[in-house]
């Protein structure tokens, strides 16, 4: 039997309804902040991610699904190497949305310097080749926003407030979630800080795991994220980024916090919050759900002032975030909440006599065109099994088309819960149902 790939889920029923609710509530909120939706391709040139996200990140080194056309793959197998492929022949499925959106901003000149900023949001599937486990999938869904062209701390604060507002729209109370923030410095102060952390790791190398020793060379700040208990103890005493910020980064960070205070947003400062993508500069943030920490962060983001330049554009600041749909569903579940709502109910047109099928068909068209959700038997069921089917589909009313009713130019309306029946004139049925369903 054909099977889906492990770690890649079908969205159907409740999960599809939840995803649609999440997208619609996001749309409603993001539009009030003046953000426009963008859809970028799921497949991009490999370089878009490698340059944007960073060669030394786990996402790029270990987790990207790379893609080649069939002919190219045969060519690579035959030659035993990718050597000689043109950049446009190396592709990957997007592991996240920011790098692709930055590519689109550059390609379409969406945030020309000195002109208005580009405020974009997106919703879609992302792909990471991870070991599937709770809250960690190979294909997952994100809703994200990217704000290009604003360097002011006010932009960071607006994006963070928007992040917290959308969580509220999903049903989280402010006491359910924990926002952590940090500043990672910029090109002026981070290199020296990185070097200090690298030296610190090497000074304690006998206590650190092999991964952290590798990180020391590639990306030492990632050692703060190591899950190994021994490494965590050592990193408790590592140099803290807040002691190494340059004046500009420090001022920026203080202003972001002042705006968050003004907006009444509660946050925790976490100098060990480093995030897994290299493009971040200055502000970074992440949200966990209290009591659902095992799910992992439900969303995160930050400022990325160098990303557009890395993508080949003119220097353009930016800040944004993304939320993970599957983790949000798990976190809401742990709080006894859900995004799925009930499947929409409607009416069922039942046909008491097979000779009247065409009448039932016409009635169902009329009801649907009037905006009433309508189901109709298309398998020649008996009246009894049509009632059963109506129940199964959650219809609240059954409209029975029968010979006696037809003689009186009427239909019978049956309440599926009380089983009470009422005769309604055929010409009045749309108005009757519209009122009753409202």
Binding to ligand HAM by residue 270, rule CB under 6 A?
no
Piece in contact with ligand HAM (CB under 6 A), picked from 128-136, 170-178, 336-344, 408-416? 128-136
For ligand HAM, which residue of 14, 130, 214, 309 counts as binding (CB under 6 A)? 130
Contact at 8 Å (CB) between 283 and 252? Answer: yes
Subset of residues 293 to 332 that bind ligand HAM, contact rule: CB under 6 A: 297-302, 320-322, 324, 326-327
With respect to ligand HAM, which residue has the nearer C-beta, 286 or 359?
Answer: 286
Minimum CB distance to ligand HAM, residue 325 (Å): 8
Least separation, in Å, of the C-beta of 183 and ligand HAM?
Answer: 15
Phi-psi region of 302 (alpha: psi -120 to 50; beta: other; left: phi over 0): left
Rounded to 5, what percent of the chain is helix, strand, coil? 45, 20, 35
Give CA 269 to chain center in angstroms.
25
| End-to-end CA gap in the chain | 45
Binding flags for ligand HAM, 39-78, as an x/- string (CB under 6 A): ----------------------------------------
Residues contacting ligand HAM: total by CB under 6 A: 26
* Residue in 297, 304, 252 with CA at minimum distance from that of residue 147: 304
**Contact call for residues 145 and 35 (beta carbons, < 8 A):** yes
Out of 18, 40, 48, 98, which residue is the one contacting ligand HAM (CB under 6 A)? 98
Place of tokens 């770690």: 7
Among 44, 58, 96, 288, binds ligand HAM (CB under 6 A): 96
Of these, 18, 45, 48, 142, which contacts ligand HAM (CB under 6 A)? 142
**For ligand HAM, which stretch binds (CB under 6 A), given 90-98, 177-185, 207-215, 245-253?**
90-98
Is the distance from CB of 147 to CB of 117 less than 8 angstroms? yes
Residue 417 corresponds to which tokens in the numbers above?
Answer: 């819960």
- What is the spatial distance between Cα 163 and Cα 48, in angstroms, rounded to a whole number? 26
Q: Tokens at residue 172, please?
A: 């989280």
Where along the sequence are the contacts to ligand HAM (CB under 6 A)?
Answer: 96-98, 128, 130, 135-137, 140, 142, 144, 146, 276-277, 297-302, 320-322, 324, 326-327
């Amino acid at each position: 039997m054909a099977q889906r790939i492990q770690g890649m889920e079908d969205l159907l029923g409740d999960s599809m309804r939840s995803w649609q609710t999440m997208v619609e509530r996001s749309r409603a909120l993001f539009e009030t902040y003046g953000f426009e939706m963008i859809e970028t391709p799921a497949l991009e040139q490999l370089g878009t991610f490698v340059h944007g996200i960073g060669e030394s990140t786990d996402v790029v080194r270990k987790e990207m699904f790379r893609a080649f056309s069939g002919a190219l793959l045969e060519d690579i197998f035959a030659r035993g190497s990718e050597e000689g492929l043109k950049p446009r022949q190396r592709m990957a499925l997007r592991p996240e949305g920011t790098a692709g959106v930055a590519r689109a901003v550059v390609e379409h000149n969406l945030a020309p310097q000195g002109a208005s900023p580009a405020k974009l949001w997106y919703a879609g599937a992302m792909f990471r080749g991870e070991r599937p486990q709770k809250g960690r999938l190979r294909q997952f869904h994100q809703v994200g926003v990217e704000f290009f062209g604003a360097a002011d701390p006010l932009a960071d604060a607006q994006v963070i407030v928007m992040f917290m507002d959308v969580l509220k729209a999903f049903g989280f109370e402010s006491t359910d979630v924990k926002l952590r923030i940090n500043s990672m410095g910029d090109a002026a102060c981070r290199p020296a800080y990185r070097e200090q952390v690298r030296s610190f790791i090497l000074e304690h190398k006998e206590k650190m795991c092999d991964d952290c020793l590798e990180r020391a060379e590639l990306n030492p700040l990632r050692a703060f994220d190591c899950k190994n208990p021994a490494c965590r103890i050592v990193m408790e005493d590592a140099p803290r980024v807040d002691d190494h910020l340059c004046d500009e980064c420090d001022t920026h960070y203080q202003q972001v916090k002042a705006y968050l205070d003004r907006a009444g947003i509660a946050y925790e400062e976490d100098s060990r919050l480093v995030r897994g993508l290299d493009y971040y500069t200055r502000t970074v943030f992440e949200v966990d759900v209290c009591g659902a920490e095992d799910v992992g962060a439900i969303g995160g983001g930050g400022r990325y002032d160098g990303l557009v330049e890395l993508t080949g554009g003119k220097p353009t600041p930016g800040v944004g975030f993304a939320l993970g749909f599957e983790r949000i569903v798990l976190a809401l579940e742990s709080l006894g909440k859900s995004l799925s709502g009930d499947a929409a109910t409607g009416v069922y047109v039942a046909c008491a006599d097979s000779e009247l099928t065409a009448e039932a068909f016409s009635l169902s068209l009329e009801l649907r065109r009037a905006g009433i959700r309508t189901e109709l038997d298309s398998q020649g069921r008996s009246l009894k099994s049509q009632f059963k089917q109506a129940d199964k589909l959650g219809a609240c009313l059954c409209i029975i088309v029968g010979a006696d009713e037809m003689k009186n130019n009427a239909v019978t309306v049956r309440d599926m819960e009380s089983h009470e029946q009422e005769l309604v004139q055929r010409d009045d049925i749309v108005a009757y149902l519209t009122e009753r369903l409202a």
